């Protein structure tokens, strides 16, 4: 009997997923020194009041409760001004623009204060099981648009088998601002069981054929509200169907020996060394996190 295409796709997906786990382990073994250091440094990082649920793969937070109200207000105010600056409006996706430059991270301390805040840093370290590597940082502007392509469709991120992205609203995000939508890891697995694991895009039909729409979390909320989401385990999409603008700070962490290091981060890579010298020379864990590796 010839297996049908759905069984073949699911088989190929399982192999792909297993290969990613093997690749991650191989990288950790091949770079044992950095792996050991990440784990050792992780032990120095203090406990956080925030826990990224291991099963669910996400946690919600309010920066107000973390005492970050003034810092977030400054970042939101800058972000609002920057939306009008055409030189800042960068990126290859017309529906997801980046307004942040490397120099901003040196000049405006609030960015790194927030990105490496002890509560976030502790939660991410615990979840990843080691001091994390800061992969990328962006200040995203989603302009009104009506496309449904690329990251506007359900997908998993590819950096690692487990990663942690902090998403913080820098304007009041309502359903008509194209918020990030995601499925908890427990629900994403159900989609995977039905449609197979893929690093490509999933159609809404595939997703809602396997899980109820009511399981989807939309990251709506006022300025300063946010989520940490494991985008490698939680299917997600965003920037879809906006009639209003969305502004969001995104801070992306993975393990230093991740599956796919990618081609770097335009914002961070030019200032990693300066940031370490300027801010983290007395903080070995965060210096490791910011480093180029």
* Binding-site ranges for ligand AKG (CB under 6 A): 96, 142, 151, 157, 165, 180, 231, 236, 238-239, 250
CA–CA separation, 77 vs 71, rounded Å? 10
> Which residue lies nearer to ligand AKG by CB, 180 or 189?
180
- Taking CB atoms, the residue at the shortest distance from ligand AKG is 238
> Which residue lies nearer to ligand AKG by CB, 111 or 167?
167
CB of 132 to ligand AKG, least distance (A): 16
CB of 219 to ligand AKG, least distance (A): 8
CA–CA separation, 195 vs 210, rounded Å? 8
Question: CB–CB of 248/125 below 8 Å?
Answer: no
Count how many residues are written for the chain. 293
- Kind of pairing between the strands at 225-229 and 58-62: antiparallel
Question: CB–CB of 199/16 below 8 Å?
Answer: yes
> Which residue lies nearer to ligand AKG by CB, 225 or 239?
239
> Which residue lies nearer to ligand AKG by CB, 80 or 143?
143
CB of 41 to ligand AKG, least distance (A): 26
> Which residue lies nearer to ligand AKG by CB, 165 or 286?
165
Helices 5-30 and 32-44, packing angle to 10 deg: 80
Question: CB–CB of 179/227 below 8 Å?
Answer: no
Residue with tokens 């796709």: 9
Structure tokens, 2: 């010839």
Residue of 205, 226, 245 whose CA lies nearest to 217: 226
> Which residue lies nearer to ligand AKG by CB, 134 or 250?
250
CB of 277 to ligand AKG, least distance (A): 29
CB of 105 to ligand AKG, least distance (A): 19
Please list the helix, strand and coil fractions of the chain in percent, rounded to the nearest 5, in that order: 40, 20, 40
CB of 29 to ligand AKG, least distance (A): 28
């Amino acid at each position: 009997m010839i297996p049908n295409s759905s069984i073949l796709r699911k088989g190929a997906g399982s192999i792909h997923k297993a290969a990613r786990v093997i690749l991650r382990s191989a990288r950790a073994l091949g770079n044992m020194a950095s792996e050991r250091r990440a784990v050792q440094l992780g032990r120095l990082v203090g406990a956080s009041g925030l826990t990224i649920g291991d099963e669910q793969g996400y946690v919600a937070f309010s920066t107000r409760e973390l005492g970050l109200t003034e810092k977030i207000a400054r970042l939101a105010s800058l972000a609002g001004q920057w939306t009008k600056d055409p030189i800042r409006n960068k990126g290859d996706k017309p529906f997801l623009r980046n307004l942040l430059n490397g120099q901003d991270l040196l000049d405006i301390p609030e960015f790194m204060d927030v990105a490496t805040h002890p509560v976030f840093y502790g939660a991410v370290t615990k979840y990843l099981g080691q001091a994390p590597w800061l992969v990328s940082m962006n200040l995203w502007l989603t302009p009104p648009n009506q496309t449904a392509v690329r990251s506007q469709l359900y997908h998993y991120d590819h950096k690692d088998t487990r990663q942690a992205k902090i998403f913080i609203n820098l304007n009041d995000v309502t359903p008509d601002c194209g918020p990030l939508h995601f499925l908890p890891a427990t629900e994403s697995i159900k989609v995977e069981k039905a449609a197979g694991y893929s690093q490509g895009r999933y159609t809404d039909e595939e997703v809602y054929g396997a899980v109820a729409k009511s399981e989807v979390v939309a990251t709506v909320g006022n300025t300063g509200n946010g989520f940490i989401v494991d985008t490698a385990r939680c299917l997600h999409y965003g920037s879809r169907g906006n009639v209003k603008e969305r502004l969001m700070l995104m801070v992306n962490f993975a393990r230093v020996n991740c599956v796919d290091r990618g081609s770097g981060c335009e914002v961070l890579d030019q200032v990693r060394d300066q940031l370490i010298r300027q801010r983290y020379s007395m903080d070995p864990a965060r210096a490791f996190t910011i480093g180029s590796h």
